[in-house]
């Protein structure tokens, strides 16, 4: 805790220029290591285990976490969306444990977690911040719930807390390939003209990790933070929606401004305004597809779709979602839908499925 504060203070004092880039890179690497230790404290005498978050079983097809400062309306939002009881009051820190609920949408079951209010300094172990954020890391989507009457700085503070524990919102992994090797020193290649990173800065960061031999290839203009993320390797890249609550207390002109901002969804949880738009937006950000099973000689089961993420949507993924043992007996599949030219079409386990495809599995005799 004190070491983190000291490093942050030194970074704030250090001027940002070409000459100090290496030193700042080393400080950022030290900071990342200390925060990783906070998330995963060493097990030893009185050491406790990993920061595993709240004990909430993952159910349904996707997990969505509600994150925000106390008293912004997360519990009310959960109640209205799921019908699950979560104590609601006008005083702060009502929710002291993680409350799960399930939203059904387009046949999919989406688990919502009402996480206790984040306070400033959660990433440094204050309050129950470590539990909140380590649970947030397991989510497929994060809803940052904000009170539209509170300062916009609250959004920045929450982003800063999440960033500190390796959660990257609405971002993809950096365009850096980092490969360790046995010997040959550090080499740096890039296709970028005048990149922000140079070999000296890379050496400063790598020395903090005791890495002296590695190949670094950069295909997009990345900064020191991106390099630290790649070396740490424990970052999670999660889509995020900023849910602006209590819009019944602002003017129409203010609402129009908020509604045009990227990744924003204005709602009034108490009056149930904008909740349908929010659930639809969640569906789009989760990027799920629905597939339907068809037993031989019977109609497809449209009531209970097999829901898959759009980046893991092969026939093999479909089989594993139903039961891990099916793929061992798999011979081929018959598919009806937009992913095939003929209906039905015989496909193998590598075939990529589309939304609302119908699949019949044929097993080995």
* Residues contacting 18, CB < 8 A, separation 6+: none
Which 3 state secondary structure label does DSSP give 182? coil
Lowest-pLDDT range of 94-98, 158-162, 176-180, 183-187: 94-98
Whether the per-residue pLDDT at 118 is higher than 80: the answer is no
Write down how long the chain is: 365
Could you check whether the bond before residue 344 is cis, i.e. omega within 30 degrees of 0? yes
Contacts of 25 (CB under 8 A, 6+ apart): 201, 202, 204, 205, 224, 227, 228
Cβ atoms within 10 A of the Cβ of 164, count? 20
What is the C-alpha to C-alpha distance for residues 77 and 114, in angstroms, rounded to an integer? 9
For the chain, helix, strand, coil in percent to 5 are 30, 25, 45
- What structural domains and CATH numbers belong to the chain? 2-41+174-232 (no CATH), 62-171+236-286 (3.40.50.300), 288-363 (3.10.20.30)
Q: How far is CA 17 from CA 14, 26, 276, in A?
A: 9, 14, 48
295-353, pLDDT tens digit by residue?
A: 988 999 898 899 999 999 999 999 999 998 999 999 999 999 999 999 999 999 999 99
pTM over 0.75? The answer is yes
Rounded Cα gap, residues 365 and 352, in angstroms: 25
Look at the block and give the residue holding tokens 């929710």. 95
Q: Assess contact for 191 and 219: CB atoms under 8 A.
A: yes
More confident residue, 243 or 50: 243
């Amino acid at each position: 805790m004190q070491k983190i504060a000291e490093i942050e203070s030194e970074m704030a004092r250090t001027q940002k220029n070409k000459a100090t880039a290496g030193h700042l890179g080393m400080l950022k690497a030290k900071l990342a290591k200390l925060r990783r230790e906070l998330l995963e404290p060493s097990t030893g005498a009185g050491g406790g285990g990993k920061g595993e978050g709240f004990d909430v079983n993952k159910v349904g097809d996707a997990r969505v976490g509600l994150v925000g400062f106390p008293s912004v309306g997360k519990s009310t939002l959960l109640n209205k969306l799921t019908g699950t009881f979560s104590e609601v009051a006008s005083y702060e820190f009502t929710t002291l444990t993680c409350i799960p609920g399930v939203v059904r949408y387009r046949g999919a079951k989406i688990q919502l977690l009402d996480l206790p209010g984040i306070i400033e300094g959660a990433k440094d172990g204050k309050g129950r911040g470590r539990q909140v954020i380590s649970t947030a890391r397991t989510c497929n989507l994060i809803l940052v719930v904000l009170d539209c009457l509170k300062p916009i700085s609250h959004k920045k503070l929450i982003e800063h807390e999440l960033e500190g524990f390796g959660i990257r919102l609405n971002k993809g992994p950096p365009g850096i390939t980092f490969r360790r090797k046995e010997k040959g020193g550090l080499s740096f290649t890039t296709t970028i003209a005048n990149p922000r990173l140079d070999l000296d800065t890379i050496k400063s960061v790598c020395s903090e990790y005791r890495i002296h031999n590695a190949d670094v290839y950069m295909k997009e203009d990345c900064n020191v933070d991106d390099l630290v993320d790649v070396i740490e390797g424990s970052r999670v890249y999660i889509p995020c929606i900023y849910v602006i609550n209590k819009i019944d207390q602002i003017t129409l002109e203010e609402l129009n401004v908020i509604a045009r901002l990227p990744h924003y969804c204005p709602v009034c949880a108490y009056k149930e305004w904008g909740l349908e738009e929010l659930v639809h937006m969640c569906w789009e950000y989760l990027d799920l597809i629905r597939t339907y099973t068809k037993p031989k000689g019977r109609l497809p089961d449209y009531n209970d779709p097999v829901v898959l993420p759009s980046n893991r949507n092969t026939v093999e993924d479909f089989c594993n979602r139903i039961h891990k043992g099916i793929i061992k007996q798999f011979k081929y599949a018959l598919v009806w839908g937009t992913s095939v030219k003929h209906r039905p079409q015989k496909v193998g386990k590598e075939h990529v499925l589309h939304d609302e495809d119908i699949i019949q599995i044929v097993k080995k005799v």
